Chain A
């Protein structure tokens, strides 16, 4: 291959690279779906989200809820309650208990007020992302936006915060963190105190 042809070939590749970078600066086509997650009109957004979830399940499950945006809490594919730790240390402890199948410890955390339960699908606002090793997102600091714990903040595993448009997804956090033991310990109180 001659020098001129080689340089032309490299130039075409460089131009393709520049074009790819430029493509990143255009508006995302899926943004219209995503914007419903930060909507303040729950009735309308939930109605439209169910449609978009059916049509594009793969892409919506990959969407993240960014800081300041509104999403929902869902423990993987479970429709049960979600355990929210009051702070990062509690969240870490809850995850450790889940790994150790420490159901009594779970109940103790809830009874002591260091953790609380919210129904799956509860709307939250993401306040901050918590990192491990400075770059791995492992937790999310969230503010509860509806229900009995309205206004309260807490920390949950990062993957439990999902866009309002997303369906249920597989979670890396152990299933025992999904509140079944604790819910059975306090069934009546939850039913009475849940706000419509």
Chain B
């Protein structure tokens, strides 16, 4: 049970960090800012962006890290769901988020989906997802029954 809670907490934390980067440093043109406006926290986000605008954030943190964090968060989330299971299906689910992220990036490279292929995106995503899978695939975390 402790492993499941740890994985859920890690997943939420990674998602929160990624979302924070998006909300504070990315362009207003993103759909999420319309959502922020719709739920009434748009001005609060604006104010927060004003507080942090002087903080220089490296491009790879601003543009590449959030997607990698999303993929890693998926790894932890699905690990939490499949904690204690010995079904081989668990491997599919645990790898689905990194596969979607990396696959999406590769699909951009061959113009299957719109977007700009970026090697830094790919490397960040692969590294962080790999690290997350390595962490969660330890037997203690999800093979051992709760």
B31 near A27 with CB under 8 A, answer: yes
List 10 extra interface pairs beyond A7-B85, A7-B89, CB under 8 A.
A14-B74, A14-B78, A21-B15, A24-B31, A25-B30, A25-B67, A28-B30, A29-B31, A66-B46, A131-B44
Chain B, 7-45, CB within 8 A of any chain A CB = 15, 19, 22, 26, 28-35, 37-38, 40-44
Of all chain B residues, which has the CB nearest A19? B100
B97 near A28 with CB under 8 A, answer: no
Interface residues, chain B, CB within 8 Å of chain A? 15, 19, 22, 26, 28-35, 37-38, 40-44, 46-47, 49-50, 66-67, 70, 73-74, 77-78, 81-82, 85, 87, 89-90, 93, 96-97
A27 near B30 with CB under 8 A, answer: yes
Bound CA span A67–B51, Å: 12
Interface residues, chain A, CB within 8 Å of chain B? 3-4, 7-8, 10-11, 14-15, 18, 21-31, 35, 62-64, 66-67, 128-129, 131, 135, 137, 158
Of all chain B residues, which has the CB nearest A4? B87
Bound CA span A64–B46, Å: 11
A158 near B43 with CB under 8 A, answer: yes
Chain B residues within an 8 Å CB radius of A131: 43-44, 47
B15 near A129 with CB under 8 A, answer: no
A24 near B43 with CB under 8 A, answer: no
A129 near B43 with CB under 8 A, answer: yes
With both chains docked as a complex, state the minimum distance between the C-beta of B34 and any C-beta of chain A, in angstroms.
5
B85 near A4 with CB under 8 A, answer: yes
Give the contacting residue for A7; candidates B44, B50, B82; CB below 8 A. Answer: B82
Q: Which has the most chain A C-beta neighbours within 10 Å: B35, B46, B49, B67? A: B46
Of all chain B residues, which has the CB nearest A30? B34
Chain A residues within an 8 Å CB radius of B41: 135
Of all chain B residues, which has the CB nearest A134? B44
Those 6 A-B pairs whose CB atoms lie nearest each other, nearest first: A24-B32, A137-B43, A129-B43, A31-B29, A28-B31, A67-B46
Chain B residues within an 8 Å CB radius of A15: 74, 96-97
B47 near A129 with CB under 8 A, answer: yes
Of all chain A residues, which has the CB nearest B74? A18
B34 near A129 with CB under 8 A, answer: no
Chain B residues within an 8 Å CB radius of A24: 22, 30-32, 35
Bound CA span A62–B40, Å: 10
12 contacts between A and B (CB under 8 A): A11-B82, A15-B96, A18-B77, A18-B97, A21-B19, A23-B31, A24-B35, A28-B29, A35-B29, A66-B42, A131-B43, A135-B44
Of all chain A residues, which has the CB nearest B70? A22
Bound CA span A66–B45, Å: 10
Bound CA span A187–B82, Å: 74
Give the contacting residue for A66; candidates B28, B40, B67, B70; CB below 8 A. Answer: B28
Bound CA span A28–B35, Å: 10
Bound CA span A66–B34, Å: 11
B77 near A14 with CB under 8 A, answer: yes
Chain B residues within an 8 Å CB radius of A35: 29
A129 near B46 with CB under 8 A, answer: yes
